[in-house]
Chain A
Amino acid sequence: MTHPLVAIRSVSKNFGEFQALNGVSLDVRAGEVLCLIGASGSGKTTLLRCINQLTSVDSGGIWLNGELLGLREQGGRLHRLTAGQIAQQRLKTGMVFQRFNLFPHKTALENITEGPVQVQGRKRDDARAEAIELLRRVGLAAKADAYPSQLSGGQQQRVAIARALAMKPMLMLFDEPTSALDPELVGEVLSVMKELARSGMTMMVVTHELGFAREVADTVVYMDQGAIVESGPAAEVLGRPREVRTQSFLSAVI
Chain B
Amino acid sequence: MRVAPVLAEGFPDISGMSVARRVHWGRWLAAAAIVVILAAIGRAFVNGQIEWSYVSRFLTAKVILEGIVNTMVMAILAMVLGIALGVVAAIMRLSPNPVLRSVAAGYTWLFRGTPLILQLLLWFNLALVFPTIGIPGLWSARAVDVMTPFLSALLGLGINQGAYTSEVMRAGMLSVDIGQYEAAQAIGMGRLRALRRIILPQAMRVVIPPLGNEFIGMVKATSLASVIQYPEVLHNAENIYYANSRVIELLIVAGFWYLLVVSVLTPLQMLLERRFARGSSQMAR
Q: Which residues does A use to contact B, with CB under 8 Å?
A: 52, 54, 83-84, 87-88, 90-91, 93-95, 97, 99, 101-107, 114-115, 118-120, 147-149, 160, 163-164, 167
What are the 5 closest A-B residue pairs judged by CB atoms, nearest first?
A115-B187, A101-B183, A147-B279, A149-B281, A95-B186
User: Which B residues contact A (CB, under 8 angstroms)?
Assistant: 177, 179-180, 182-191, 193, 197-198, 201-202, 278-281
B201, A105: Cβ atoms closer than 8 Å: yes
A164 near B188: Cβ-Cβ < 8 Å: no
List B contacts of A115 (CB < 8 A): 187-189
Closest to B279 in A: A147
Determine which of B182, B185, B186, B201 lies in contact with A164 in the assembled complex, contact meaning CB atoms within 8 Å. B186
- On whether the beta carbons of A105 and B202 are closer than 8 Å, the reply is yes
Cβ–Cβ < 8 Å partners of A163 in chain B:
187
Contacts of B198 in A (CB 8 A): 103
Asked if A88 and B279 sit within 8 Å, CB to CB, the answer is no
**Known contacts A101-B179, A105-B202; is A90 also within 8 Å of B279 by CB?**
no
User: How far is B193's CA from A99's CA once the two chains are assembled, in angstroms?
Assistant: 22
Hey, which chain A residues are within 8 Å of B177, CB to CB?
Answer: 99, 101
Whether A104 contacts B280 by the Cβ 8 Å rule is yes
Q: Which residue of A lies closest to B205 (CB)?
A: A105
Closest Cβ–Cβ distance, residue A237 to chain B (whole Å): 28
Please judge, given known A-B contacts A105-B278, A106-B279, A114-B197, whether A119 and B189 are in contact too, CB under 8 Å.
yes
- 27 A/B residue pairs, CB under 8 Å, sorted by A: A52-B186, A87-B190, A90-B187, A93-B186, A95-B186, A97-B183, A99-B179, A101-B179, A101-B182, A102-B183, A103-B180, A103-B184, A104-B202, A105-B202, A114-B187, A114-B197, A115-B188, A118-B189, A118-B193, A118-B197, A119-B189, A147-B278, A147-B279, A149-B280, A149-B281, A164-B186, A167-B188
CA distance A119 to B194 in the complex (A): 10
- The complex places the Cα of A101 from the Cα of B199 at a distance, in Å, of 12
Give the residue among B185, B186, B188, B281 with the most A Cβ atoms within 10 A. Answer: B186
Interface pair B187/A148, CB less than 8 Å apart: no
Given contacts A87-B185, A99-B179, A101-B180, contact A119 B279 (CB under 8 A): no
**Could you tell me the distance in whole angstroms from the C-beta of B181 to the nearest C-beta in chain A?**
9
A120 with B188: CB separation less than 8 A? yes
From known contacts A149-B279, A149-B280, infer whether A103 and B183 are also in contact, taking CB-CB under 8 Å: yes
Contact partners of A105 in chain B: CB under 8 A:
201-202, 278-280
- Complex alpha-carbon distance, A171 and B173, angstroms: 31
From residue B251, how far is it (CB to closest CB) to chain A in Å? 45
Q: A101-B177, A101-B180 are in contact. Are A90 and B197 (CB under 8 A)?
A: no
**Residue among A107, A147, A167 making CB contact with B187, cutoff 8 Å:** A167
Q: Please, which residues of chain B bring their CB within 8 A of the CB of A102? A: 183
Q: Which residues of B contact A95 (CB under 8 A)?
A: 182-183, 186
In contact, A87 and B189 (Cβ under 8 angstroms): yes
Given the complex, which residues of A lie within 8 Å of B183, measured CB to CB?
95, 97, 101-103, 160
